[in-house]
């Protein structure tokens, strides 16, 4: 039985460092690409571009992407339990399903482009054809990524940044030397997606040979068992999330006004960017160690400690800096800053909440996750209806902080009762022990090793 391509320490420490680096790089590259796109396109063109992209969001509802998390978890658990034949069968089944569904949806979109072009113009038809090809490439990317994440390969982490860098390079070249319209942006997206696909092929081939080379797939159907076990809860949770997504803005515009929606949108987008800076353990690492209580307890206790204090520091710095920057760049959005600061109170608990959700997924607690999500939606709606007319937009902050406090407490209570090895010693939160110092030194060494090639290039 092959082990993951990195040691436990490398996966826990280096994985978090690489996540921070690649996620921040991806965000920065995305901002540059968006800036060039906004600069080149007229307001009307940008509106059409967003409408074209909304087609992808709509068609995603007809995919099977919402099963990725549980399938990845079960493949990793199969590898960890030395059931490689089951892992191979499940991967092949789900890969065929994803590729088949994506191909059918893309083919329907490609074929219907001519009819759409008849009503809205040939340009729209061309855009939809390009979008259909992008969907196929992204489906293939998703299949390779799912396998690499399942074997806890760190190579998959940078694929998004590679794609965004390729897109930025193409968009910048077109902007400077040719012309940049909707067609060019979509073609750049397609070519960048192909580059990222090639980037994933080599590590996929290597890891597939290591883990599944020479292994005969299990004769029984695996995905059907997953669907029968918790397919309903996955579909229910996905549908509920989609239905609840517009809840806040519609309640705000109904009980306050449209201007309040703009302030809310800015505040929630800013705090989302800040929350994304918090590193989380690899979900596959949690699934891989699900049968190892000692290691899983170690990951949970250390991650909760670092996420809480890291989130607290991040929230404090953001409270000092972000309002100043908004006042300087977008003074008309200063009224959104009290809500933004209120939202920051949830940052120290955000990472813990996400970690608990990943753990419950690793333990296959889909029913608990789905039923709790419905309860949380009802609680949030009740708080908004009760407080929006009286305290205005700050009611959204009350709802957000109440919901995350309730979620963290509820999940921890269930986790600690069912899995006693995950109980926390809260006194350890207030001191830096020998293990903390060892992790910090190892993390610093990983950062220096990661930056060494860059130093050689510069010097």
Asked whether residue 430 carries a pLDDT value surpassing 80, the answer given is no
432 neighbors 439 (Cβ within 8 angstroms):
no
144 neighbors 204 (Cβ within 8 angstroms):
yes
Instruction: Report the number of distinct structural domains present in the chain.
Output: 2
pLDDT digits (tens, 9 = 90+) for 166-182: 999 999 999 888 888 88
Asked whether residue 363 carries a pLDDT value surpassing 90, the answer given is no
Same domain, 184 and 261: no
315 neighbors 323 (Cβ within 8 angstroms):
no
Comparing CA positions, the residue from 215, 234, 67, 86 lying closest to residue 146 is 67
Measure the CA–CA gap between 374 and 372, rounded to whole angstroms: 5
Measure the CA–CA gap between 289 and 8, rounded to whole angstroms: 9
228 neighbors 295 (Cβ within 8 angstroms):
no
For residues 290-317, give the mean pLDDT.
87
Same domain, 133 and 56: yes
| Confidence tier at 456 by pLDDT (50, 70, 90) | low
Quote the domain boundaries for residue 207.
1-229
Same domain, 150 and 251: no
Same domain, 299 and 260: yes
| Confidence tier at 457 by pLDDT (50, 70, 90) | very low
| Confidence tier at 5 by pLDDT (50, 70, 90) | very low
For residues 1-18, give the mean pLDDT.
59
- Predicted confidence at residue 409, as pLDDT, reads 92
Asked whether residue 6 carries a pLDDT value surpassing 70, the answer given is no
In a domain, 445, yes or no: no
* Distant-in-sequence, close-in-space partners of 440: CB < 8 Å, separation ≥ 6: none
Query: Which of 164-173, 236-245, 309-318 shows the lowest mean pLDDT across its residues?
Result: 236-245
For residues 6-34, give the mean pLDDT.
72
- Predicted confidence at residue 9, as pLDDT, reads 56
Asked whether residue 235 carries a pLDDT value surpassing 80, the answer given is no
Quote the tokens at residue 199. 């980037």
Comparing CA positions, the residue from 446, 450, 426 lying closest to residue 438 is 446
What angle is formed at CA 348 by the lines to CA 344 and CA 354, rounded to 5 degrees?
Answer: 110
* Distant-in-sequence, close-in-space partners of 446: CB < 8 Å, separation ≥ 6: 10, 13, 14, 17
CA dihedral of residues 107, 111, 113, 119 (deg, nearest 10): -150
For residues 231-257, give the mean pLDDT.
73
Same domain, 191 and 285: no
Same domain, 33 and 64: yes
Q: How does the average pLDDT of the chain come out, rounded?
A: 82
Residue positions counted in the chain = 459
Same domain, 210 and 296: no
pLDDT digits (tens, 9 = 90+) for 56-78: 767 766 677 778 888 888 888 88
Same domain, 200 and 274: no
Range among 117-126, 141-150, 288-297, 327-336 rated most confident: 141-150
In a domain, 454, yes or no: no
Same domain, 371 and 418: yes
In a domain, 56, yes or no: yes
Same domain, 377 and 342: yes
pLDDT digits (tens, 9 = 90+) for 325-358: 888 877 888 888 999 999 999 999 998 998 898 8
In a domain, 435, yes or no: no
- Predicted confidence at residue 458, as pLDDT, reads 47
CA dihedral of residues 441, 288, 137, 61 (deg, nearest 10): -120
Query: Which of 64-68, 281-285, 430-434 shows the lowest mean pLDDT across its residues?
Result: 281-285
DSSP per residue, 18-77? HHHHHHHHHHHHHHHHHHHHHHHS-HHHHHHHHHHHHHHHHHHTTSSGGGHHHHHHHHHH
Same domain, 34 and 152: yes
Same domain, 335 and 395: yes
- Predicted confidence at residue 8, as pLDDT, reads 56
């Amino acid at each position: 039985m092959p082990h993951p391509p990195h040691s436990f320490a490398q996966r826990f420490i280096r994985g978090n460092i690489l996540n921070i680096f690649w996620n921040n790089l991806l965000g920065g590259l995305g901002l540059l690409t968006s800036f060039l796109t906004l600069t080149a396109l007229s307001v009307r063109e940008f509106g059409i571009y967003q409408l074209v992209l909304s087609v992808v969001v709509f068609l995603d509802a007809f995919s099977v992407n919402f099963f990725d998390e549980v399938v990845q978890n079960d493949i990793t658990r199969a590898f960890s339990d030395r059931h490689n034949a089951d892992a191979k069968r499940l991967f092949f089944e789900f890969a065929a399903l994803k590729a088949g569904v994506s191909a059918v949806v893309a083919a329907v979109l490609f074929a219907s482009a001519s009819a759409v072009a008849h009503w809205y113009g040939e340009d729209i038809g061309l855009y939809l054809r390009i979008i259909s090809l992008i969907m196929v490439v992204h489906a293939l990317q998703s299949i390779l990524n799912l396998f690499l994440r399942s074997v806890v390969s760190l190579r998959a982490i940078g694929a998004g940044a590679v794609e965004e860098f390729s897109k930025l390079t193409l968009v910048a070249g077109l902007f400077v030397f040719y012309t940049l319209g909707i067609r060019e942006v979509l073609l750049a997206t397609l070519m960048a997606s192909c580059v990222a696909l090639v980037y994933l092929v080599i590590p996929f081939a290597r890891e597939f040979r290591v883990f599944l080379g020479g292994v005969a797939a299990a004769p029984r159907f695996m995905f059907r068992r997953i669907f029968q076990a918790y397919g309903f809860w996955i579909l229910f949770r996905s549908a509920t999330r989609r239905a609840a997504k517009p809840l806040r803005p519609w309640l705000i515009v109904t009980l306050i006004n449209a201007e309040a929606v703009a302030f809310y949108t800015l505040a929630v987008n800013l705090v989302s960017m800040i929350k994304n800076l918090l590193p989380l353990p690899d979900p596959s690492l949690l699934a891989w160690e699900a049968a190892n209580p000692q290691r899983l307890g170690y990951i949970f206790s250390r991650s909760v400690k670092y996420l809480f204090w890291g989130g607290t520091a991040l929230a404090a710095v953001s409270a000092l800096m972000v309002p100043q920057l908004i006042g300087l760049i977008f003074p008309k959005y200063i009224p959104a800053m009290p809500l933004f600061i209120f939202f920051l109170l949830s940052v120290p608990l955000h990472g813990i909440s996400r970690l608990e959700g990943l753990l419950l997924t690793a333990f296959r607690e889909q029913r608990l996750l789905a039923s709790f999500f419905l309860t949380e939606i009802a609680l949030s709606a009740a708080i908004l209806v009760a407080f929006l007319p009286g305290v205005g937009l700050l009611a959204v902050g009350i709802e957000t902080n109440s919901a995350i406090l309730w979620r963290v407490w509820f999940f921890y209570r269930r986790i600690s009762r069912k899995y006693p090895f995950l109980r926390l010693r809260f006194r350890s939160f207030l001191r830096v022990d020998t293990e903390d110092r060892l992790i910090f030194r190892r993390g610093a060494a990983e950062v220096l090793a990661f930056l060494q090639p860059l130093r050689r290039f510069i010097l």
